Amino acid sequence: MIPTDIAQTIIDPKAYAAQTPVDEAFKFLRREMPLDVAAPEGFDPFWVVTRHRDILEVERQSELFHNGDRSTVLANRTADQKVRAMMGGSPHLVRSLVQMDNPDHGYYRRLTQPYFMPQNIRKLEPRIREIAKSFVDRMAAKGGTCDFARDVAFLYPLHVIMEILGVPEADEPLMLKLTQELFGAGDSDMNREGKIATNEDEGLAAIMATVADFVAYFNKMTEDRRAHPRDDVASVIANGTVNGQPLGHFEAMSYYIIVASAGHDTTSNTTAGALWSLAENLGEFAKLKQNINGLLPSFIEESIRWVTPVKHFMRTATDDAEVAGRKIAKGDWLFLSYPSGNRDEEVFDDPFAFKVDRMPNKQIAFGYGAHVCLGQHLGRLEMRILWEELLPRLEGLELAGEPRRTEAAFVCGPKSLPIRFRMH
């Protein structure tokens, strides 16, 4: 069994905000107990999968290791019981692609997949570049200081995905607020109540209220798109069919929520984390400045590896299995740690160094196999265009205060990044 203090660290939102404690915990696990069982107080026991190759092996076998049989995100027993009581036995507050297994996963993924394929995404490049330029100009107008997370990194990918989804610009602040409430439920700066929940009921009630706000918003949008379809993803969801039937209400609402939240938050985290790393590694910043076009692809992959915004997903064994020589029983729960896989010493040379020219870079932050991130090509494109617009103009860069990360054990990245900069 994984020692209690280590098990506690890898589920602690504050440890992810500090980062060093989880880095140290996973380093210990990769070395000493790469695939073993954790049983923190109040939780059902779960296997902790820490090595790159073992995460890939589990992800590769989507029929053997399901997403949807139990909660797809780590939840303690009390929360799990409350969700099941509310959701008629289901462990999920939403049922998006993330919570689905085949055949449903394939059907629902195919609905919007064409929108997010490279050949379609490329058509959006001129518009995305306009948006990126406007944010770079806005940053330049700040006069040499800004909070890069709040002023640029949060807002730019948000604007891009909302245009694709079909949400008007006036509603973007609401979408950002609801996303931060959803992913930052344990962080008093981000959550709905503006304070740390004192008990399970409070925290769950806040998340439920956020989901209800999303649903109310997208109900109206569905009615509108059924009456007046447009060329946007909202119209695809509103008018889509699976096996000849319209999407169920729960599935449709869940689809909107995943696009409206995960569709920007992970890119925002990665973009902010990348600039934070450049500000702390001025040698890497100089190297990148000398060869922006040549190093941009490797810099982007390194940013994704370095930040790894999605910290874990859970899988459930549908049958007895063996991974890395360990016997996994049918029904067992597995915790896939993406930050650990992306710091695996067997795969990455000097994994705790940020290197803009890291090659090869087999980062697994987008997942792998059937559930690989649908928006990965869009995320990369958004980052490439922003850096193409910003880096040539950025002459000097330094931190202007203490950057801070969101306190969250599921999706986490910088929530504040004060910088001083020189631009032309």
13 and 408 Cβ atoms separated by less than 8 Å? yes
Q: Are strands 404-405 and 418-423 parallel, antiparallel or unpaired?
A: unpaired
Q: What is the pLDDT of residue 165?
A: 97
* Element of type H or E holding 146: strand 145-147
Q: What is the pLDDT of residue 357?
A: 98
For the stretch 88-125, pLDDT in tens is 999 999 999 999 999 999 999 999 999 899 999 999 99
Q: Which residues in the chain land under pLDDT 50?
A: none
Burial 248-273 (b: 16+ CB within 10 A, else e): eeebbbbbbbbbbbbbbbbbbbbbbb
Q: What is the pLDDT of residue 180?
A: 95
Q: Are strands 333-337 and 46-49 parallel, antiparallel or unpaired?
A: parallel
Q: What is the pLDDT of residue 63?
A: 98
- Identify any residues that bridge with 145 across adjacent strands, giving them in sequence order: 420
Alpha-carbon distance values, 309 to 115, 243, 388 (Å): 23, 34, 22
CA distance 158 to 79: 30
Q: Write out the two tokens for 298.
A: 């490797």
CA distance 61 to 73: 18
Q: What is the pLDDT of residue 200?
A: 74
Q: Write out the two tokens for 214.
A: 């999303």
Q: Are strands 35-38 and 326-328 parallel, antiparallel or unpaired?
A: unpaired
- Identify any residues that bridge with 335 across adjacent strands, giving them in sequence order: 48, 314
Residue 177 burial (CB count, 10 A): 14
- Burial of 388 per CB tally in 10 Å (0-12, 13-18, 19+): middle
CA distance 30 to 118: 35
- Burial of 169 per CB tally in 10 Å (0-12, 13-18, 19+): exposed
Domains of the chain and any CATH numbers: 4-335+370-406 (1.10.630.10)
Q: Write out the two tokens for 285.
A: 């910043």
Which residue is it, tokens 């009630």?
205
